[in-house]
Structure 1
Amino acid sequence: MDEILKVRFQDVPLKHKNEHPGYEYYKRELVPKENAQQCSISVYEIPPGKSAYPYHYHTRNEEAFYIISGNGILKTPSGDREVSAGEFLFFPSNKKGAHKLTNTSETEILIYLDFDTHNEIDVAFYPDSGKIGVWGMDINKLFKINQQVEYYDD
């Protein structure tokens, strides 16, 4: 994209993902990654008791959340901590930036603004499940870390 983007929140299509118990979100892509060279910006709405994504960290892409409304628990390598409206969270692209945000309310939706950088290729680790994800350059795949092969196999 080489022009200024102006969007109205209510005009951005709402995407819903609910493919696994414990994980569900509604997402409005204010700046979709295909429309920008270096970042994407979305608003996430997380239903009560749910998370958008499993515990993970990236090796190249950074993330930042601004909590608009609601409350949750943020899991990090330093432990769990409560988060609430008005807080800004930054996740560096390394093990120390591992995170999982869960809505702890029984009735209220957790809403946050998500800023992500995008590099040509990124690797994400999922410590709780022993997986690795490779994203970019027409690759969008997950693998189990323990299924490693030798460099010269095949």
Structure 2
Amino acid sequence: MKKTTASLPQGLAGANVAYCQRLTQLAQDSQQRWLELGQRLAGDGTSQYLAAFAPLTPADNWQDLAPALGELTRKRWQSQLEASQAITHVMLQEQAALAAGLGEAMREWFKNANSAAIDKSPLTQMWSVMSNQMEAACAAMQDANQPGARHDG
């Protein structure tokens, strides 16, 4: 039995390519923001160590270093708390940005895929209805992610 493969309509293939490109851009943007946060946090830690040890002179007695080590430990705990808060903040921002970007990409894909379906066959009409429903759902998800949006639960 010969198996036939149907190719995607040109408009649908273009919609798929644009969707994948948008997802790639979202991932790259997110990766860049996480990299910048990591570099900032690592740089802060290094500068704290250097600042704590810079005024110390070499000594034979470890007890002379104890106050500086105690202060360094306190600063490291405080820094780690601040880093944890920064990471949580960035994570929430990233989640909102990715959800908004994904919703936008899906809406655009549904719009492009819908315009690619030019005939009025029952399958195309079903696809059109489903696309419109998914576009409305994505728009509602993005609206719910806006600052100040009310979330009833």
Higher RCO, Cα 8 Å, sep 6+: 2
For the pair shown, the structure with the greater C-alpha radius of gyration is 2
- When the two structures are superposed, what TM-score results if normalisation uses the length of structure 2? 0.18
* Larger strand percent: 1
Indicate the structure with greater helix content: 2
User: Structure 1-normalised TM-score?
Assistant: 0.18
